[in-house]
Amino acid sequence: MSTIAYKERAKPRLLDIYEALYRRMKLSNDDYQYYMSLKKGFEGECRFDEYTDALDSHCLVLNDLLLKHNRSIFQIDSLVICSDRILLFEVKNYQGVHYWGPVTFTKTTGVTLENPTLQLQKTRARLEILLAALRIQMRIEAYIAYVNPEFTLLGAQRNEDYLLPSQLPHYFKTLQLKGKLEPEQSRLADMLKKLHNPDNFVDEMPEFCYEKLHKELVCYACGSAVHFKGGKSVLCPVCKKKSSATNIIKQNVEEFRLLFPNEKITTVRIADWCGVANKDCVYRILRSSYRPIGKGHGRYYV
C-alpha cells in the first residue's frame, strides 16, 4: 500500500511570481537564470516524489519544508519520518557532466557550483538542533538524490550520502520500513507542518513595478498574449486553446493579486492589466466572481 504525503509538495510561490514576470517583462540575465533554476529544481523534486509516493504506509512524508530556528532559515526538499529514523533528502536535478571537488562541482562549460554535500551538512545540523529544541530524539540519515538520468559525476570519491540516478530505484526498492509509527512520530510531523513558513524566502523577490510590465490578457496554456473585444470565449492565436472569457480574466486577476497583493482589485485597474478596452465586460466578470466592497468609484473586489 502506497503512502500519501503528510505534507504534499506545492508549487513555490516564488516560482509562480517569476513565471508571471517572465510573461510580462524581460528578465535580467541573473533573474532569468534564477528563474530557470527554480523551475528545474521544482521539476526534479516532482520527479523524486514518484519514489516517495510509492512507499508503504509505515512512514510519514513531508515535502518542501521551509523552517526557521534560532534565526537560521533552512529548506528540506523531502523528509521521511520512519519508526526508527528520519530520512532527509536534498534533491538535485543537475544535468550533464560535472567534475567532483570537495568544495565545488565544475561543469564542462567551466561553471562552478557548490558541492551539495556542504548544503546537506548545514541542513542536517540545523534539523538536529531543531529536533533537540523540540525534545525529539531520532537518528537522521541524510542523502543527496540526483534525479536527472542525464547527470554524470566524474572524479567523485566514494560517498554514501550520494544517490545517483542509477541507484535511486534500487535504494527505494530495498528500503526497509519496519515497525508501526508511534504517537511521537506523528507529533513531530504535526510540529514541522506548523513550523513551515512559505514566506521565509520573500527577500529573493526580483525588483519590478507595475508601469514596466506588459498589460495584456495572457493565455495560461502557452503564455502568449490574446485579444478580447467581447463575447463569451477567447481563442489563443498561438496554441489555439479556447477559454471562456470569465476563466481567462479570472486567471489574469489572480496573477495581478500574486504580484501586487496589497493593491485593490478594481474594474479600471484590471481592464488596464488585461489590456481590455471593454470595461463593462470586466465589471460583469468581477461582480459575478468576487465580492464587492464599497460603492461607485471607490468599489473594489475581494
Per-residue three-class SS string for 33-51: HHHHHHHHHHHHHHHHHHH
Q: Single out the residue in 150, 176, 203 at which a domain terminates.
A: 203
Q: Tell me if 135 is assigned to some domain.
A: yes
Q: How far apart are CA 86 and CA 48, in angstroms?
A: 17
Interval 199-210: pLDDT, tens = 777 567 788 999
Considering the domain architecture, whether residues 59 and 182 belong to the same structural domain is answered as yes
Q: How far apart are CA 239 and CA 222, in angstroms?
A: 7
Considering the domain architecture, whether residues 198 and 268 belong to the same structural domain is answered as no
Q: Tell me if 292 is assigned to some domain.
A: yes
Considering the domain architecture, whether residues 22 and 116 belong to the same structural domain is answered as yes
Interval 72-85: pLDDT, tens = 899 999 999 999 99
Considering the domain architecture, whether residues 66 and 123 belong to the same structural domain is answered as yes
Q: What is the pLDDT at residue 152?
A: 95
The tally of domains found in the chain comes to 2
Q: Please report, for the domain that includes residue 92, its CATH number.
A: 3.40.91
Q: What is the pLDDT at residue 75?
A: 94
Q: What is the pLDDT at residue 3?
A: 63
Q: What is the pLDDT at residue 177?
A: 84
Q: Tell me if 53 is assigned to some domain.
A: yes
Interval 3-42: pLDDT, tens = 678 999 999 989 999 999 999 999 999 999 999 999 999 9
Considering the domain architecture, whether residues 147 and 30 belong to the same structural domain is answered as yes
Q: What is the pLDDT at residue 141?
A: 97
Q: Tell me if 2 is assigned to some domain.
A: no
Q: Tell me if 5 is assigned to some domain.
A: no
Q: Which residue segment(s) compose the domain that 274 sits in?
A: 209-301
Q: What is the pLDDT at residue 297?
A: 84
Which residues does the chain have with pLDDT short of 70? 1-3, 202-203
Q: Single out the residue in 143, 174, 203 at which a domain terminates.
A: 203
Among 4, 8, 61, residue whose Cα is nearest residue 189:
61
Q: What is the pLDDT at residue 223?
A: 87
Q: Single out the residue in 203, 225, 251 at which a domain terminates.
A: 203
Residue that is written with C-alpha cell 528500503 in the block: 175
Considering the domain architecture, whether residues 161 and 229 belong to the same structural domain is answered as no
Residue that is written with C-alpha cell 512524508 in the block: 61
Specify the length of the chain in residues: 302
Q: Tell me if 223 is assigned to some domain.
A: yes
Q: What is the pLDDT at residue 2?
A: 56
Considering the domain architecture, whether residues 225 and 134 belong to the same structural domain is answered as no
Q: Tell me if 155 is assigned to some domain.
A: yes
